[in-house]
Structure 1
């Protein structure tokens, strides 16, 4: 009985270690995607707001890392090791997704 329990303990311990060590590394790659600008002089903002300070501009042809998570109509973008900012979702062509189409404005019903 004791040998049987120690085998199950060993199997359980290996299962827990596998999940805590191996699985996070698999999902870590999904935190970011690559994207490029769809037109010249795409604005990079300091915060996720069109009223925020413009800190940089990007151009088509170069790929940048963006977050999977959106912040309203913005993605967080890494332009370089020193420049992190926010870019409007409609300004990007995202690898595997394509360009995000602008949504039409709908007035509140009166």
Structure 2
């Protein structure tokens, strides 16, 4: 197992969508002033090539689509997430990974003010 102190920051303007693929576990949540029911109750997020699956403890999994987009001037990456109940955008504020990529941590910040910290595996 990789020591969390050996994780390094990924250069976000150079981030490739392939670095986000796989299962993510939501480990920390900072609530938003505005309600964010789908994402605020989520426990797991799985990103495949173009599809996503969002899981929570109290609801059946939801499937949708996603893609990586960049701010036009700054190049800052954000996720555009589409689910049956609506769409959301989440800015990637931090991505850390182990040298071999087996351990990753990501922080997403939603327009509502919700902040999620995710870890892989």
TM-score normalised over the length of structure 1: 0.31
Which structure has more RCO (C-alpha within 8 Å, separation ≥ 6)? 2
Q: Which structure has more helix as a fraction of its residues?
A: 1
TM-score normalised over the length of structure 2: 0.29
Q: Which structure has more strand as a fraction of its residues?
A: 2
